[in-house]
Structure 1
Amino acid sequence: MARPVRLASFRFSPLAAAALLAAPLCATTAGAQTATPTATPLALPSSTQLAPVTISGRAYPSVGVSGWGDVPLSRAPLQGSVFSAEQLKDNGVQRLSDLTAFDPALSDAYNTEGYWDSLTVRGFVLDNRFNYRRDGLPISAETSIPLDNKARIEVLKGASGIQAGTSAPGGLVNYVVKRPTADDLTSAGMEWRQSASLTGSLDLSRRFGAERAFGLRVNAAAASLDPRVPQAQGKRHLLAVAGDWRLSADTLLEAEFETSHKSQPSVPGFSLLGNTVPAAGDPRINLNNQPWSLPVVFDGNTASLRLQQRVGADWRFTAHLASQRLKTDDRIAFPFGCFSPDPAPTGTYYADRYCPDGSFDLYDFRSENERRRTDALDLSFTGKLTTGALRHDLTLGLLNSRVKNRFERQAFNYAGIGNVQGTAITAAAPDLTDENTNRDERSIELYARDAIALTPELTAWLGLRHTRLQRASVRTDGSRATDYAQSFSTPWLAVSWAFATDQLAYASWGQGIESEVAPGRSRYTNPGEALPTLKSRQVEVGLKGSSDDLEWNLAAFDIQRPQFADVGTCDLDATCTRQADGTVRHRGVEASGAWRSGPWLLRGGLQALHARRADSQIAAINGLQPTNVPAQTFKLQAIYDVPQVVGLSLQGGIVRESRRMVLPDNSAHIPAFNRADLAARWQGRFDATTVTWRAGIDNLFDQRAWRESPYQFGHAYLFPLAPRTVRASLQIDL
């Protein structure tokens, strides 16, 4: 066991940010509004300006989570996507997993009604503990994250070692919070969604005080949830407040907090019936429909404080502090495996699927009062300097983060036999019979990034992050304790060549790190032992271009990720070793673009992915395709601005994904599926009021198909496409 390392810690309360913000606000009278000062103030972040972010024309956004500041995607040696708040509204996006309809590199990873969202990027499932950011700082995504107060969602594709100390390969997701706008904003909205979900929202932003130095923005939302899946009714609400104070032309102080609540039963997946992949059935069947079924409850409180200080003409210091506190009651009637009496006399136990007759073992799972806390402090200097003939855009920083997860005993008890028709009724089994695992993590990360302009056309991009990590875990009864420390560095290198106006070619190489410890159980020969770090590697080459009416991106990537596996019989004490076991390699080509011609706008993309297992000690799985990873994906949207009706636009969308493997041995798969969506948007202005109507039909032709096939918890699950769903909304901007 590695000797524990004590890292610097800090305490942060959401109330502290609110109090700090309230002091200057209360000291200023609301009526004291004067002209904007003539001195140029420190530039506010793009989320504060709320400039519309589009993937059309020549309005290229930046991906802040990439680490290269405000460099637009058109000039950055990487691939990413930005989804603006307006784009989310036009497409009826309510949760992160809805983004899988628009980007070919994104797909589902165990996404279901009533639970948290998971994404696959370039075939790798993002880790909800380590691959998610909020305004660039780490958060836990093991919760329901509301979008009502988010200005945009950024997705970085590829190895993320220079942005995160530890993370799964594939990319990062960053939620950018709405900040006070330069001009006053008042917006109210109402949305109805089939069957009878209703959401109301309010968005207010004001500037006030001497020289309009203070800004305040409030977002509020409440929803009654009644989706097309029966017995999945719930509710949610959000309140978020963000403020800023321009102390001087060189100093900007920002503070914000949000509190959210969601309560809704989750919907488990279907599965194989014996050795057969069944035809996709009625997606309105809810297998979590017992009289004792309880909702999953997510409560979240997040707050942050950010200070930006200009230091001279070319340098800026940023201090960013954030705290996230989550409480979850995770409860479900959970199908898992089954026993069939056939063939007699011994029968068959199906450990990772349902029985051929559609029956399954049903378990009463309850893990209540789960507490997760994430604190982070980031200090950085960003600026420009010149050394001889070279110009540098340089960032130096330190990130100190802490994670503390506390759980109570849990239930996972056999409750009876269920069936895929959802007609069986069983008795509850709520006794807390199993232990849970508490976890702690502390890390200090030092990072440096430098974009070096070698010539006006040629730029070298250099990045390095050094991480010192300490992790500990222990069961709730004090058993199976683990504690270890590791240090590692993750470099990232790229070169880009602007070979013509608005045309860019680039090549990059980078690493990512994942850290793991052998479980502290008696069946392992190395219980509690810190395993060598998993170092993934990515090579990527790409081309980008744009003109007045066309944008395009083309990238080829090769990602290799080492794998850990349990080697041995693993049925008795000291018969199992957790160790490195080969790699998985994802090689692919991704193309995307947008083209405008008159009233038409087309945007979309495709990805071809060759993902295979290699060098495993289990020879039978070498050369096989990972489960739940489509080899080809295609996403297309067409928008038509109707010339005859001012303000009216029509939109259609197509999604196609190829087959996915259901089992690790590739003996079963779900077929490819297609989905079509249709939407309309009309915007009109009446005096000083702007009215926006939106309507849409998702899954227009009510296609019945399996959407994804995650192999989760050692079990194969199948999730169907959602049934045809109608939605409509009204937004009023004053």
Structure 2
Amino acid sequence: MQSPRITLLNLACIQAFSVLSFSVLSFSAIAGEQSKADAVTEVSLERFSVFGQRQSDTFGSKSGILLKELPQSIQLLDVDQMREQGLVSVGDLLRDIPSANPGYSRVGPYQSFSLKIRGFGADQMRNGMRQRYFEDVDASALGSIERMEVLKGPSGVLYGQSAVGGVINLVSKTPGADNSGSAGFRLGTDHKKVANGDISKNLFDTVSLRLMGEMERSDTFVDRQPMDRNNISLMLQHQIGDKATGHFVAEYIKRETDRYVGLPVSVVLPDQDEEALDISSQLGEPGFTSLRSFAPLYQYWLDIQLSQQWTLTPRLQYQEFNTVFGQVNLRAPVAGQPDLISRTGRQGRENDDYQIAQLDLNSRVTTGVLEHKVLLGYEAGRERGRFTQSNIRAGTLTPVDINNPQYQYDTQDPVLDFGFDNFYNLDSDAWYLQDQIKLTPQLQLIGAVRYTDSKAGSGAWGTAANWVPVSSTIWQLGLTWQLKEQLTVFIGHNTGFDVESSAAARSRTGDALEPEESAQTELGVRYSADEFSGSLALFRIERLNALTTDPVDSDFSVNSGEQRVDGVELEGSWQLNAALLLQAGYAYMDGEITESNDTDVGNTLGDLARHRLNFSANWQYDNEWSAFVRANYSSGRPLITGSAWELDAYTLIGTGLRYQQSNWSAQLAVNNLLDELYYTASGNGFVVYPGEPQQASLQLMWQW
């Protein structure tokens, strides 16, 4: 098994050395090669475009605020460019965000639960509308995505309840101006086989569409864990007269795999420099722990130009999340037998549907000498969920021998006891207002407020809901000052809320638990020129009103917990010449629990690396050949908050080579070039998930 890997490693090392050598030579001979570099075509340079550096862009489809005028840190990533480099999931893409934790690999069950920004969880959205577990079906369903927008810190004023760390907004590809298409095939390590297609067509003068699909049939680095994926997406645009444009998105995604159980911390974490247990080990029950998930998504929005100053945009979304799974959990070793790990398990089914309706009114008005860009909006949300669970009867699932795992449920069915069949409902109405005021040609003030009125209910399926009402008011205030055409200073304070952990719950006294809240204060500077762009930000981000144990009755919770992360984040992009683009980022973050009833005040936040660093070099030799090298570093971090276990630091290197002809291309990529052994947090203190070992892929693409 090792010989092919060593051969591949040698070839990849030669390739990486070549890329680095070419980069150094390009740097040392800028003047002599400038005429040749200038001959590189516009098309070639477009492959190295970095969405986050175009300061004339706006964030999302709602704010209408130019990036250079946004009083909050943001990065935009070109999804296709990064997929060509062998990155296959949302977590992989987040490695280019200095303050982001990319979480565990797509081998884990639901990747989004592990993604973090600035030390806290991040929510995903599609075209500016919140998702409800849709992203958990298939973290690799990126073929229909044009760019990924990462807004750092609480962002609830325009986007509703959201995680503390920030928002990951995935923006769908739109139809092209001409009839065009592409088809591709990717082969890789672990028998990876991925086919994809993309067709853009103008049906009429006023109607165009884009149809995209992807299918994967692969194994993974874990024994008996396949990865079968299907997704198809349609984007349709239509023009109504010269005043309105409609957008329709329909997507269906499906994934079938095994629910990965992980590796026991007691075995693999004491010495992380050695592979104490083969990372391919399957310690679950592959005959039982299948994971099947599927979900449809429909979105429609209409941009209506009422006048030169007024625009009305209604939006609708319907989305489901459906999953059926068997699950085995590793627990503590059997007393006196460290190689025998006890296990528990369950079988479950979840079915959710989520509906959103929004109405936004944008206007430009003048009051005296002040110019205003105003957004007034309303949002209605409706969520219906059902979760059914049965548990493996205690004592019937045998411990697993890590050195010789035997799969009990390959030959017999599990003994299951019914657990529960519950529902969860959430209805909400929200009103929000944003005003961007141009105080002077260089000074912009942004203020926003949102009021949300919600009610949540839960209980046994078939019974009446016991509705619990809650409300929340959040706000944002920020200032941007354009010192020069290329240089902007910004300061902002923004807040958010999340009902995920507290909805439908009551305190010991019977009162409704309040939503958890968040706040971020940030001071930053942006610089944007033709050759170089970047940003530097100082921030404090806090999770407030968090649930913690009621000191009077430990069976209940109270809203009194607080957590804090202080940090510095730096990122930049340098177009050294027409052939060489360098990108880099660094984040320092220090997080701790500041208030709690759980005797953990002062503890470092779990899974928070104090130092994160990323670097990439993209080199365009001529119109045909290009190459890249990338590196990511993460310092060590606690496994979970309060845990004595630490996850070691790691460094990942990737490299690749691309050949482009007029209508076809070939891309070779190798990630985790040095086959670094590292582990990621799973969300509990019993197991970790190994990071993906060395992965190589070859992609062929035809365009017309």
TM over 0.5: yes
1:226 to 219, 225, 233: 219
Residues 658-669 of structure 1: pairs in structure 2 closer than 5 A:
658-669=635-646
Equivalent residue in structure 1 for 2:262, among 255, 259, 269: 269
Does residue 465 (structure 1) correspond to residue 450 (structure 2)? The answer is yes
Aligned to 1:709: 681
Q: Is the 8 A contact 2:457 2:504 kept in 1?
A: no
Q: Which residue of structure 2 lines up, in the alignment, with residue 423 of structure 1?
A: 405
Q: String of CA shifts for 1:40-72, please: whole Å, max 9, x gaps.
A: xxxxxxxxxxx9793279634745348422x34
Q: Is it true that 1:602 corresponds to 2:582 in the alignment?
A: yes
1:65 and 1:156 in contact (8 A); partners too: no
Change over 3 Å in CA distance of 1:492–1:603 after alignment to 2:
same
1:74 touches 1:502 (CA, 8 Å); kept in 2? no
Question: 1:466 touches 1:490 (CA, 8 Å); kept in 2?
Answer: yes
Give how far 1:326 is off.
2.1
Distance 1:278 1:472, change over 3 A: farther
2:693 matches 1:723: yes
The alpha-carbon deviation at position 444 of structure 1 amounts to 0.8
For the aligned residues, what is the CA RMSD?
2.6
Aligned to 2:664: 691
Which amino acid in 1 is paired with 2:531? D
SS in 2 for 1:87: helix
For 2:286 and 2:582, the matched residues in 1 are separated by 48
Question: What is aligned with 1:674?
Answer: 651
For 1:484, which of 468, 482, 497 is the aligned residue? Answer: 468
State the Cα distance separating 1:435 from its structure 2 match. Answer: 1.2
| Distance of 1:680 and 1:492 partners within structure 2 | 44
SS in 1 for 2:548: strand
- Return closer, same or farther for 1:432/1:108 CA change in 2, 3 Å cut-off: farther
Aligned partner of 1:442 among 427, 430, 454: 427
Task: Label 1:276 to 1:656 Cα distance change in 2 as closer, same or farther (>3 A).
Answer: closer
Match of 1:102 among 96, 101, 104: 96
> Structure 1 unaligned runs (5+)?
1-50, 343-355
1:733 aligns with 703
Deviates more, 1:116-125 or 1:233-242: 233-242
User: C-alpha deviations, 1:120-159, integer Å up to 9, x for none?
Assistant: 1100023xxxx22111112113432521212222211111
Deviation at 1:380, TM superposition (A): 0.7
Which residue matches 2:438? 453
Q: Determine the C-alpha separation between the residues in 1 that align with 2:496 and 2:507.
A: 28
Report the Cα offset of residue 432 of structure 1.
4.2
Q: What amino acid is aligned across from residue 580 of structure 1 in structure 2?
A: N
1:361 aligned partner, one-letter code: S
How far apart are the structure 2 equivalents of 1:278 and 1:477? 51
Cα drift, residue 607 of structure 1 = 0.5
2:228 is equivalent to residue 238 of structure 1: no
Structure 1 residues 565 and 58: alpha-carbon distance in aligned structure 2, compared to 1, 3 A threshold: closer
- In 2: Cα distance, 1:361 partner to 1:527 partner: 39
Alignment match, 1:116: 110
Helix, strand or coil at the partner of 2:92: helix
Q: 1:85 to 1:667 in 2, by over 3 A?
A: closer
Stretch of structure 1 that moved more, 384-393 or 610-619: 610-619
> Secondary structure of the residue that 2:372 maps to in structure 1?
strand
- Provide the C-alpha distance between the structure 1 equivalents of 2:245 and 2:127, rounded to a whole number of angstroms: 16
Q: Residue 566 of structure 1 is aligned with which of 541, 545, 549?
A: 549
Does the 8 Å CA contact 1:510/1:539 hold for their aligned counterparts? Answer: yes
1:133 aligns with 2:105: no
Q: How does 1:175-254 map to 2 (within 5 A)?
A: 175-209=170-204, 212-254=205-247
SS of the aligned residue for 1:700 comes to coil
* 2:226–2:258 contact (8 Å) kept in structure 1: yes
Deviation at 1:108, TM superposition (A): 3.3
* TM-score (ref. length: structure 1): 0.83
Q: Which moved more, 1:300-309 or 1:266-275?
A: 266-275
Structure-2 residue corresponding to 1:259: 252
Displacement of 1:398 after TM fit?
0.7
- How many positions carry a matched residue from both structures? 645
Within 5 Å, give how 1:309-388 maps onto structure 2.
309-340=304-335, 342=336, 357-368=338-349, 370-388=350-368
User: What are the equivalent positions in structure 2 for 1:280-291 lying under 5 Å apart?
Assistant: 281=275, 284-290=279-285
Query: Residues 193 and 365 (structure 1 numbering): CA distance in 2 closer, same or farther, change over 3 Å?
Result: farther
Q: 1:519 to 1:499 in 2, by over 3 A?
A: closer
- Is 2:575 the partner of 1:613? no
- Per-residue displacement from partner, 1:603-644 (whole Å, max 9, x unpaired)? 02010001011132344x22211111111100111112225x
TM-superposed CA distance for 1:412, in Å, is 4.4
User: Could you list the per-position Cα deviations for residues 361-408 of structure 1 after superposition, in whole angstroms to 9, with x for gaps in the alignment?
Assistant: 22332113x211011111111121111111111111111111111122
The question of whether the paired residues in 2 share the 8 Å contact of 1:66 and 1:163 is answered with no
Shift of residue 566, structure 1, vs aligned partner: 2.1
Q: Partners of 1:85 and 1:297 in 2: how far apart?
A: 26
**Paired AA for residue 117 in structure 2:** V
Is the counterpart of residue 79 in structure 1 residue 73 in structure 2? yes
**Distance in 2, Cα, partners of 1:516 & 1:202:** 37
Question: Which moved further from structure 2: 150-159 or 104-113?
Answer: 104-113
- Write the letter of the residue equivalent to 2:258: P
What's the secondary structure of 1:227's corresponding residue? coil
Match of 1:556 in 2: 538
Counterpart mapping for 1:584-599 below 5 A: 584-598=563-577, 599=579
Question: CA 1:402/1:61 → structure 2, altered by over 3 Å: closer, same or farther?
Answer: farther
When you count helix as a share of all residues, which structure comes out higher?
Answer: 2
1:634 aligns with 2:629: no
| Alpha-carbon distance change, 167 to 254 in structure 1, aligned in 2, over 3 angstroms | closer
Whole-Å separation in 2 of the counterparts to 1:630 and 1:66:
32
TM-superposed CA distance for 1:705, in Å, is: 2.0
Q: CA deviation digits over 1:313-363, x for unaligned, max 9?
A: 1211111111002211122333233441x4xxxxxxxxxxxxx71322223
How far did 1:501 drift? 1.1
The answer on whether the counterparts of 2:296 and 2:320 sit within 8 Å (CA) in structure 1 is yes
| Number of the residue aligned with 1:625 | 604
Please tell me the residue identity of whatever aligns with 2:72. Answer: L
Q: Does 1:540 align with 2:540?
A: no
1:651-684 CA-partner distances (Å, limit 9, x unpaired): 1111110111024334221221111111112211
Partners in 1 of 2:450 and 2:181 — Cα distance?
42
Distance 1:101 1:58 in 2: 17
Assess if the C-alpha contact under 8 Å between 1:197 and 1:223 holds in 2: yes
Contact 1:316 1:381 (C-alpha < 8 Å) held by counterparts: yes
Normalised to the residue count of structure 2, the TM-score between the two structures is 0.86
Partner in structure 2 of residue 37 of structure 1: none
Structure 1 stretches (4+) deviating beyond 4 angstroms? Answer: 476-479, 516-521
Distance 2:452 2:303 in 1: 25
* Aligned-residue offset at 1:698: 0.8
Counterparts of 1:160 and 1:286, CA distance in 2: 40
Deviations 1:264-286, CA, capped at 9 Å, x for gaps = 11322223218963436356424
1:391 to 364, 368, 371: 371
Q: What is the SS of the residue equivalent to 1:531?
A: coil
Instruction: Tell me how far 1:733 sits from its aligned partner.
Output: 0.9
Structure 1 residues 320 and 667, CA gap change in structure 2 (3 angstroms): same
Aligned residue number for residue 634 of structure 2 = 657
Contact 2:59 2:66 in 1 (8 A): no
For 2:29, the equivalent position in structure 1 comes to none
Q: Which runs of 5 or more structure 2 residues have no equivalent in the other structure?
A: 1-45
Summarize the Cα distance change of 1:422–1:362 in structure 2 as closer, same or farther, 3 Å threshold: farther
